Structure 1
Amino acid sequence: MRLVRTRLLSYRNRLLPYMQHYYFPVPEQPYLLWFQKPDESTEAFNTDHLGFRFTVSGDRRTSPGTYQGDGPVRLLAGSSSVFGVGASADETTIASRLWSEYAPAEPWFAFGGQAFNSAQELVLLTLFHHMLPPVSEIVLFSGVNNLVVSRLPEEHQGVHGAHYQAEPPVDDSLVPGPAERVQRAADRTAAHLRTWQALATAMGARLVFALQPLAPWVREEPSKEEKKLFAELDKASNFRSVHSDIVSMDVGRDYATALEKRCQEIGVPFVNTTQLLAERATPKDWLFVDRVHMTDGGYDMVARILAEELELR
């Protein structure tokens, strides 16, 4: 009998084979530090000549670099969840589900870059504002990355906040406590949100801030798929151990409260996506591919929540 060698696939690779396409080095980009590769085509996603992911509605697709209409568009802005890490195809991102199903009156752009903090999200708008058609709506789906990089010590924070390429602290005693991290991240987000509001007003667009959820903030007991995926990821990644102080539901609630207060002070509507997901999700709903990024079903639920909460058509 002839033996054939086979490579054993992990649970993650068997369940989410397309996730292999989301692991690639993002090219360096002046002013932004990095951005998605332009004209990238994979089984999971496609980007235009600027590096923005396409949004899809039926047989139509669009992006900031390809739009040729003369009517207004809507922006879903932010970082990797806006890009759609975890989505199996361009059709299943939040922006695509909004355009195709829940708020189809105007096209949506997936206006985000992976691993961006709030400063990079803002810079992205300033760099590409001159290329945009009229914008009627901006939903800034963000917040998580500022909290994640808030663990870095003060010398890495600078004026505008730390980013993912900053060196981690060598001593955990240098890491601020959860309360300080929440305040630091909320203050940084609010500082940049004020400029977002000024730009949105000048553009004639409504600006809304929606808090991007973390899986542990939504529910204490993950779905059966999430439980296996998280356990496997914990063996290969230190996310859980490094960020154990911010993944509790209490910290998630404190952060949402802090951000909502700052949004009220600025005059920007706030959507607590975490709370709304928790209210709607059943124990069987598989929402996340890891603790940050979502499944097709998770992104669909977020799109529906945003459309309903903001009364989008």
Structure 2
Amino acid sequence: MKLHREALTPQMQEYDRFFDHGDMNYQPYLMYFHQQGFRSPTVNSDRSGFRLSVGPDGERASVAGHVPPGPVRLITGGSTALGIGATGDEHTLASLLWRRYAPSGPWLNFAGRCYNSTQELLLFTLYRHLLPEIDEIVIFSGLNNLTVGRLPEWQQGDHGAFWFCGEYFTAMDELRERNRKTSKVFGRRSDRARTSRVATFDDVRRDIGQVIDSAAELTLRHLETWRRLAGPNTRISYVLQPMFLWMGKSCSPEEKLLFEEIDRISKLGTWEELYGDISTPDVARRFAEALQAGCEKRHVRFHDLNPVAAATMTGNDWIFVDRAHYTDKGYDVVAGLLAETLGLS
């Protein structure tokens, strides 16, 4: 029997190919990025892995490809900013802003799938040299810092945990073992004690207040650096992304089928089991309050788009392909709200 995902959102199979771990674009410093030079009817990337955006006359642009004369504008963040769920490059937030809602200048897609705020900042640091003057940066993010903020304390380090960091720690432990020297003490080998580095669901951080505080602290620390790197003439806005459960939206018939199916076939567990404790409107509100206060001090504009989006959508509106990513209609609605809320033209 055909899955609802295949029938309702066939484009998601192209995203599966785009993010195939067997073809992962492993990167120094960033850990991973999108496939380079990927081509499909749904998603396309340039020589470095940045997704293409589409302008009013069909002009295509990307960070490591064709860059229109400056100044340019960037939208960055995680997979929702990247446009997972859109049926084509022209339906992402960057393209919709450029083509329809804020067409006075080109918008480039600067997002990275599964990126936390550390990786978002590093991406900008590593590829800023490819761009002309930048007059606007919109950071459309938030969910990833909270989700990886629940990972075990020993995975957090100085710069926060990141998606797939278990694979990193496993590989580094194997490398350490291969290079570890043993010594002989009075004719006996002395091996260093080995500790397990495999995280389990029991290791997840349960203090949600702590998760919110650490996610906000990390985000604001990186926004401070964004502000300094971008320069005084670049306007920076941080937008807390609308997420299905944060908005308190009721399910459309399509969303209900898709969500139930995703929970049923997930090998890791249901969304509620994995992320239920950070998916409430109250958590979004507390996180937004912490971010807003810090953004004001750093001269970064802040907007929580969840209540704004919730006020414009009904239960009959099919907005989400899963609880975090949008349909074409969802991206169109959110792009319009972004332009209106941020005063973009």
TM-score of the superposition, structure 1-length normalised? Answer: 0.94
Residue in 2 that maps onto 1:72: 71
Offset of residue 248 of structure 1 = 1.3
CA offset digits 1:76-107 (Å, max 9, x no partner): 01111121111000010000000000000000
Which residue type is aligned with residue 299 of structure 1?
Answer: Y
**Total equivalences in the alignment:** 305
Native 8 Å contact 1:97 1:303 kept in 2: yes
Q: Once the two structures are superposed, what CA deviation does each residue of 1:192-222 show, in whole Å capped at 9, x if it has no partner?
A: 11101111225x3111000112210112422
The alpha-carbon deviation at position 233 of structure 1 amounts to 0.3
**SS of 2:85's equivalent?**
coil
Structure 1 runs of 4+ aligned residues shifted over 6 Å read none
CA-to-aligned-CA distance 1:24-76 (integer Å, 9 cap, x gap): 22321111100111110012111111111110123211111223432211000
Pairing 1:303–2:296 present: no
Change (3 A) 1:86 1:65: same
SS in 2 for 1:287: coil
Q: How does 1:245-264 map to 2 (within 5 A)?
A: 245-264=277-296
Structure 1 131/303 Cα, relative in aligned 2: closer, same or farther at 3 Å?
A: same
Alpha-carbon distance in structure 2 between the residues aligned to 1:78 and 1:141: 5
**Distance in 2, Cα, partners of 1:248 & 1:68:** 40
Change (3 A) 1:171 1:306: closer
SS at match of 2:215: helix
Question: Offset at 1:282?
Answer: 1.8
Instruction: Name the CA distance, whole Å, in 1 between partners of 2:199 and 2:290.
Output: 25
Within-5 A mapping of 1:1-313: 8-23=1-16, 24-25=20-21, 26-57=24-55, 58-167=57-166, 169-172=199-202, 174-201=204-231, 204-237=233-266, 238=269, 239-313=271-345
Q: Secondary structure at the match of 1:160?
A: coil
- Structure 1 gaps of 5+ residues are 1-7
Cα 1:281/1:174, change in 2 over 3 Å: closer
Structure 2: 5+ residue runs without aligned partners?
Answer: 167-197
**AA matched with 2:12:** M
Displacement after TM superposition at 1:310 (Å): 1.3
Task: Give 2:317's aligned amino acid.
Answer: D
TM-score under structure 2 length normalisation: 0.85
Using the TM superposition, give the Cα deviation of residue 276 of structure 1 relative to its aligned residue in structure 2, in angstroms: 0.9
Identity value in percent: 42
Distance in 2, Cα, partners of 1:56 & 1:187: 35
Partner of 1:4: none
Q: Distance in 1 between matches of 2:87 and 2:250?
A: 24
Alpha carbons 1:54, 1:62 under 8 Å: kept: yes
